[in-house]
Chains A and B, each alone.
Chain A
Amino acid sequence: MGLLYGLIAVGLALIFGLMDVTNFAHGEFLMLAMYVTFFLFAFFAIDPLLAAPLVAAAMFVFGAAIYIVIVRFAMRAKANIGMVQIFTTFGLAILMRGLAQFFFTPDYRSIPVSWLGGKTVSLGGIFLPVPQLVGALISLGAFGALFFFIKKTDFGRALEATREDAGAVALIGIDKNRVFALGWGLGAALVGLAGAVMAMFFYIYPDVGASFALIAYVTVALGGFGSVFGAFAGGIIVGLVEATTALILPPSLKSVGIYAVYLLVVFIRPRGLFGSI
């Protein structure tokens, strides 16, 4: 579970941390990805596992489009840019939730049979549900690829440079909007991957994103803004803390542990664990 939080969070970290843009609609991106997975399954009988790359690709296009159509303009604001971003994306989140209710109805849906659903595997006597295990493996792979991508490719460097100083970057011929649109696409693609995996073992309904979004913000902040590795580490910590809290406190209070750990970390280290901003 922690790795999945990590995967959701790392998509957000990319948008939130690396580009310094707040995205309050991240949970709704996840919701959309889960619905896409569901409909691919329902209409074309494509297993979520196969659908994952398709969903990621679709979400890439969606994320980039959202940036170009909406967020690009929010970044132009001269005054209180942070608030404009928060509330533009918050409005977007409400809009998406409304659209989901309209087109998909508020019913709870789930994917009843998939290749991996309901199966467990025994690892040295500990039984693990296969979908979660595969999700964890996919997350690990995606992290590795992303880490390489950010640190080693021209695009990754362009992304970091653009956040640092958009003006200077423009001078050497990099189009800020193109870089950021790609960044949004990539962030959305990662959450698409997470959504496809989660559709295997979670109910799908219009508000599903809300419960994950807050934890994703906390994960990103816990790891520290501007650090992909931080989001990864944050995801694992959040997963572990949640599991531990669930042992001690009633299940309805399991998030309290995560929040408390976040507060503890930032009070001691105001930049999160691995943050650079």
Chain B
Amino acid sequence: MDSSFAQRRRRDLIVAACLAVLAALVPLFVKDVYVQNIMVLTLMYAALSQSWNILGGYCGQISLGHALYFGLGAYTTTLLFTKFGVLPWFGMLGGGLISALIAMALGYPCFRLRGHYFVIATIVIAEISYLLFLNWDWAGAALGIDVPVRGDSWATFQFTRSKLPFYYFALVFCCVAWLVTWWLEDSKWGYWWRAVKDNPDAAESLGVVVFNSKMGAAAVSAFLTAIGGAFYAQFVSYIDPESVMSFHFSLLMALPAVLGGIGTLWGPVLGAVILIPLTELTRSFIGGSGRGVDLILYGAVIVLISLARPEGLIGLFSRRRKGVAR
């Protein structure tokens, strides 16, 4: 049993490496800027969903307020850059650290709550900060902030002519999020989290410090999410509370993980690869009518997948694998 688990982990790593190399080669053949844009978004959502999955999937603490951390990452980076001229790379790290700290500060009272009460508390906290940013004049309030263009360079992480640097950064980000999850899965923390998810009382009685495990998961998850936020701010070079901190965004972050397979290594990636291109394509091809046909399709797909594959689309793969083994 143990060896087959080790085998599976080695195979996962090899598959991931192959996929990463493939993904790195794709831009050599795909020159279309529109398609590249979708690929960047797909990778970003895969990484974000992977980060969400650490807290929501592995540790079982369903947060629907992750837009807070995403927004904090985006705002920290952008504010430091526009107001103090600090390079985005430091802002990115700073935003990550601030988010992790805030996640732990918020976790302190919140992790005592269970079930719906916890979920609603996460929504409410994110919503409060959304409203505060919406009214905070120094930070651009509802108008948002334009990131001033200082020419293309890696130092300022701005590229106006090509999307490729963003693509490769998103790819690296996605790989890092995946690797962190992969590594955590077989670490002490990973086992604690799953124990906490399945039965917190039993875990506690066996010596798992439930509270600390939740805090750890929240910190890692928030840190990675904020990096994503910082990246997004550089990518679109314009942020406002609506686009980086609204409740809708929290749901979008969780969606790929849930549809792909919650609490699994590949679920978020699979979910993002299917969902994001679908969203973007329907939006640009039939969304222009303004009649909401894209929303109808999108909503219907979510309902159908949730109903048909409650364990996530990843279930399709594992079933086939079992069939082959027999």
Contact = CB atoms under 8 A, between A and B. Distances in A.
A87 B294 CA distance: 18
Nearest to B120: A221
Contacts of A218: 120, 124
Interface residues of B, number: 48
A87 B119 CA distance: 13
A214 B123 contact: yes
A134 interface: no
A206 B116 contact: no
Nearest to A259: B124
B311 A256 contact: no
Given A225-B116, A263-B121, A93 B310 contact: no
A99 interface: yes
B247 A106 contact: no
B295 A101 contact: yes
Contacts of B62: 82-83, 86
Interface string A262-276: 110011001110000
B287 to A, nearest CB: 10
B149 interface: no
B303 A97 contact: no
A87 B257 CA distance: 11
A70 B304 CA distance: 9
A92 B116 contact: no
Contacts of B258: 80, 83-84, 86-87
Interface in A64-108: 70, 73-74, 76-84, 86-88, 90-102, 105-106
A114 interface: no
A217 interface: yes
Contact of A94 (B114, B117, B127, B298): B298
B134 A98 contact: no
B112 interface: yes
B293 A102 contact: yes
Nearest to B292: A101
Given A102-B293, A106-B290, A270 B125 contact: no
Interface string B288-300: 0011111111111
Interface in B126-167: 127-128, 131-132, 134-135
Contact of B295 (A74, A94, A256): A94
A246 to B, nearest CB: 13
Interface of B: 62, 64, 109, 112-117, 119-121, 123-125, 127-128, 131-132, 134-135, 247, 251, 254-255, 258-259, 262-263, 290-304, 306-307, 310-311
Given A95-B296, A214-B247, A221-B120, 17 more contacts: A22-B116, A76-B310, A80-B258, A82-B62, A84-B310, A86-B119, A87-B255, A91-B303, A94-B299, A95-B299, A106-B292, A218-B124, A256-B128, A267-B109, A267-B112, A270-B112, A270-B113
17 contacts: A70-B307, A73-B307, A76-B310, A80-B263, A82-B115, A87-B302, A88-B302, A94-B295, A98-B295, A99-B292, A100-B292, A101-B292, A101-B295, A102-B292, A102-B296, A253-B131, A270-B117
